[in-house]
Structure 1
């Protein structure tokens, strides 16, 4: 799905701002049929949960409703009019006046509706959007809903971050000509000093297609006719980690000599490959340094914020990080566009987190259940998971910063049924995009001895918490466990290995001269211990600390005001561990550390 952009033939109106807002129990049976009866207003983009002081809003389970009036620009007569939502977490419905225009399930990818027949140029309409935050055994991520003794619906889920909901990303109204570009796919390669740019253009109707590649100064460097083909850029400047260079593919649809539609897609020329135990970008070994992150800030929740985007990337640069994983869902597309321009490498992940009932059993003391089964995570969940993969690849396939797909976080990959569940999803991912490696992150319970799916993937990524959940406070024992664990994966699979998560909860300002958990000194010492082990493993290709910054989680005794594993606080103040990482990462600078 193309991101809306203003061009010579397209116009774009942003609908962000303050919208009328109500939860379903206060909105009436058919809230889209008239003005929303409420005094509340909610910011878009933002999660709604932390905006209001009423706990009935924060903890609401079910539909909420947003509404505003929208005027179509009068110059859009004869154009197609499209409404786009960048995301609605976790399901959305769009009404134009009284008419249902679009429905979508999946909280982190965009959807849109052609509303041309429902509106008129220069006219005004009532836009009502319903958003549902419910998670079930058939959704990705999964969850269950219970009813308390007093009748309140309560959402339970298996992921360790708060279930923020609402319109956390932008809403747009845009125009396209009747005959227009629907999709652009770009695949790049390198042949010595020449860049190859394979392209495929999908159009709404038959049309003559012309494509031109422009360099960063706007100079045309290649051109061709036809809806598919390959451009060759001589003396190409590749896109590199830390040294981003972007070209622009200009696509024009022609009627004779007249341009009837134009669309531009930025791209970088680079290659990605796994060879033996190496991860290669442009044929050169690449070593990941960085974090698992979250879209999480005070008040906004998961609401996209450009100020935080800029500051977070400044902190990535300051600490020496070259990459991050979009744990545990696709981030706003603006984040990937910024990574493209800044030269930050991204592992792009679906929202498939919580596919592991053993975690629930351990936290709640409940009887163990089989994760992959008809009564739990079954065919319906796998179908939803497949749709998430399709939408992720369709949205992010052209971003040079995205070098690998992660299709799940900490699934029960050691349980019966895991292979039957995941094998078709890996095949689907490779069919959709054969150019990027595929990974997942293995939970602590899954070892090289009992994991059932690791051989299906290109890169072994494991989450390990030795020194925190295992051997807590005993870093000497933790170090021995970690080395034995990673060596086992390396010996068995002969593939690149990285840590997708490692770290320790840390209270900023807590200090001790001993190895005392929760102190800043312990977090630094734990990271140093991990790094000693990493540098001993030949197949090791990357380290992603959990987490970039502290983040909010569900209420409960397991977390006090959220997860504190960040090396930065939630408001982005560094803990001591940030300087520990800076000292290491600025030294190795994306290169694999040499063994002693």
Structure 2
């Protein structure tokens, strides 16, 4: 009977995991030890380091050991250990494995990472291990003990390691698995490279025992005269005095947290300089509790819609944008430093952009902070992409968690004006319910920004209909259209198409464009030439300018990026060539066509605002 009970307990617990905790706001302001650098790794396609030969997880067995996470050394010459991190090769963290090792270029599966580090934990302090991202499923262990797991390739996660951290040497082991699965978010089918690995920063952070865990300090909805938000502290001393100080604005606000560590904030303000692309003003904000203190740089602005206008700080604005993937083509691979991110946004500024769409998943928090600094408005998105498992409750739970994580992490960034709940999702009743619930979720978490998605459209002759039912719930009408590339004939035929848009809201074209191989030239009717792409853009402008409510666009895309869906050996070679800049940094002719168009739009809006 006892054996049966043990077996039954193992059976019902197998597959149940301890999940990562809610992440701390503004990790960069903390006392951190960077765990970036060279990590030893072991490729494990059969997951031998996680499962025994009966496919039972080692970390769920009675003994709780036997996996690679033990980071074990043979006790003597008779001891059998079939792995060895010390003599294994190494990878840079942050960074993906596909672009660092040629034999891993196409690899999808499990890879074990190991990082040795020294620590000097202090009494009365709390310690967390913080991962800015790892794609896709990460199982994390410290000194042989499991901290938990996290799903989602582009959102931050953390674990409390206060009780497990040792004085002196510590071993941090992570199994990262980027296997694509039908019920995950995104699902198995995407049009970008499935870069695996620990792709963003890793920190060991030291906190007070009672610490400032979260805060929101932004202007209230449609109100330039009031800062609104909250403070949340965690720990044993939850009732504390809190001071918010914005010296340059002459603001010093005192409040007290309740027995749950929470305090709402409502601060009347005057004479604030509002954040905008033309003047991306950031204020130093100091938050101090009785046990903790945090500094941040925050901009203050409002974003709203009125009829077919998008209003930034109450004034109509045209979103002169470009879409960007989280990829440095010059490596190629995931960006590994702030310099990589700044390069991408600098290219966007050279296009005369005031706006970027960060597709198709949450980007690095550093990207948002740079956008704050450089004056670029942001569309931020979760990877609900194409064909998600609409009727699977766990898939929705996953998507909602990623959306929540995105909003919670970037809610203090003035640059972020739009939360997007998905891209090109085919209309059906289950999809409509799934996506509609995500829209409601986004609005419940943040009512101060716009909510959007790239909607579906359909054509009848030369009429393009935009009547996706999801548009009823959204703040703007956005859709992807590829006239002149996937449909609509040659570039010179594009202007014949007209749009019938059901919803009287601002229209922002979330994608348009076509591909060109940099340096390949010919006439305007020859595909893959820079001239074809240039003509496509010029004729798109003629077509789109006829839309009464057109208030912005993000052509696809700033830079060529890698994609396994693009196999043509001459023109693609597993690169999506729709970029306005090549994978070697060469600006194509269409880059300058878009730049010229945006200069005209900027002048038009400047003249209108002066009237």
| Aligned counterparts of 1:591 and 1:104: Cα–Cα separation in 2 | 48
- 2:423 is matched with 409
- 1:132 is matched with 177
- 2:53 is matched with none
1:251-262 equivalences in 2 (<5 Å)? 251-254=287-290, 260-262=291-293
- 2:230 is matched with 200
- Give the count of matched residue pairs: 541
1:239-318 equivalences in 2 (<5 Å)? 239-254=275-290, 260-297=291-328, 298-299=330-331, 301-318=333-350
- 1:148 is matched with none
| Pair 1:556–1:239, CA change in 2 (3 A) | closer
1:171-182 equivalences in 2 (<5 Å)? 171-182=202-213
| Aligned counterparts of 1:449 and 1:510: Cα–Cα separation in 2 | 35
Conserved? CA contact 1:459–1:495, under 8 Å? yes
Conserved? CA contact 1:137–1:381, under 8 Å? no
| Aligned counterparts of 1:263 and 1:568: Cα–Cα separation in 2 | 39
Shift of 1:434: 1.2
1:172 aligned counterpart, secondary structure: strand
Pair 1:235 & 2:233 matched: no
2:596 aligned counterpart, secondary structure: helix
Shift of 1:80: 0.4
1:506-554 CA-to-partner distances (Å, cap 9, x unmatched) read: 0111112342221111111111111122222221110111000000001
* Higher deviation after alignment, 422-431 or 446-455: 446-455
Conserved? CA contact 1:285–1:591, under 8 Å? no
1:146-545 equivalences in 2 (<5 Å)? 158-189=189-220, 195-205=225-235, 206-215=238-247, 220-226=250-256, 227-254=263-290, 260-297=291-328, 298-299=330-331, 301-355=333-387, 372=390, 374=391, 378-412=392-426, 414-443=427-456, 445=458, 448=465, 451-472=468-489, 474-481=490-497, 484-485=498-499, 488-489=500-501, 492-545=502-555
* Higher deviation after alignment, 498-507 or 202-211: 202-211
Shift of 1:207: 3.0
Conserved? CA contact 1:96–1:126, under 8 Å? yes
| Pair 1:590–1:327, CA change in 2 (3 A) | farther
1:82 aligned counterpart, secondary structure: strand
Shift of 1:134: 1.8
| Aligned counterparts of 1:548 and 1:593: Cα–Cα separation in 2 | 25
Gaps of 5+ in 2: 1-22, 50-66, 73-83, 257-262
| Aligned counterparts of 1:248 and 1:541: Cα–Cα separation in 2 | 32
Conserved? CA contact 1:524–1:577, under 8 Å? yes
1:106-132 CA-to-partner distances (Å, cap 9, x unmatched) read: 110100011000013x42210001111
| Aligned counterparts of 1:11 and 1:238: Cα–Cα separation in 2 | 31
| Aligned counterparts of 2:604 and 2:209: Cα–Cα separation in 1 | 50
Shift of 1:464: 0.4
| Aligned counterparts of 1:2 and 1:391: Cα–Cα separation in 2 | 11
| Aligned counterparts of 2:120 and 2:266: Cα–Cα separation in 1 | 38
1:20-65 CA-to-partner distances (Å, cap 9, x unmatched) read: 01111488521111154453110111111121122xx333332211
- 2:94 is matched with 45
TM-score by length of 2: 0.84
- 2:24 is matched with 2
Shift of 1:443: 4.0
2:243 aligned counterpart, secondary structure: strand
| Pair 1:243–1:434, CA change in 2 (3 A) | same
| Aligned counterparts of 1:23 and 1:170: Cα–Cα separation in 2 | 21
1:253-288 CA-to-partner distances (Å, cap 9, x unmatched) read: 12xxxxx21112322111010111111110011111
Conserved? CA contact 2:567–2:574, under 8 Å? no
Conserved? CA contact 1:62–1:133, under 8 Å? yes
| Higher RCO structure (Cα 8 Å, ≥6 apart) | 1
TM-score by length of 1: 0.86
- 1:107 is matched with 153
- 1:151 is matched with none
1:417 aligned counterpart, secondary structure: helix
| Aligned counterparts of 2:544 and 2:135: Cα–Cα separation in 1 | 37
Conserved? CA contact 1:189–1:270, under 8 Å? no
1:356-384 CA-to-partner distances (Å, cap 9, x unmatched) read: 7xxxxxxxxxxxxxx74x4xxx3322221
| Aligned counterparts of 1:465 and 1:593: Cα–Cα separation in 2 | 29
* RMSD of Structure 2 on Structure 1 (CA): 2.3
| Aligned counterparts of 2:26 and 2:351: Cα–Cα separation in 1 | 33
| Aligned counterparts of 1:187 and 1:454: Cα–Cα separation in 2 | 27
1:138-191 CA-to-partner distances (Å, cap 9, x unmatched) read: 210011xxxxxxxxxxxxxx2111111111100000100011111101231499
| Pair 1:166–1:471, CA change in 2 (3 A) | same
Conserved? CA contact 1:350–1:388, under 8 Å? yes
| Aligned counterparts of 1:85 and 1:190: Cα–Cα separation in 2 | 32
* Higher deviation after alignment, 280-289 or 230-239: 230-239
Conserved? CA contact 1:47–1:300, under 8 Å? no
Conserved? CA contact 2:492–2:535, under 8 Å? no
Conserved? CA contact 2:519–2:530, under 8 Å? yes
Shift of 1:590: 7.9
| Pair 1:273–1:28, CA change in 2 (3 A) | same
1:50-104 CA-to-partner distances (Å, cap 9, x unmatched) read: 21122xx333332211101111135x33210110000011111110011001211
Aligned with residue 126 of structure 2, among 80, 84, 90: 80
Shift of 1:330: 0.6
Aligned with residue 113 of structure 2, among 57, 60, 66: 66
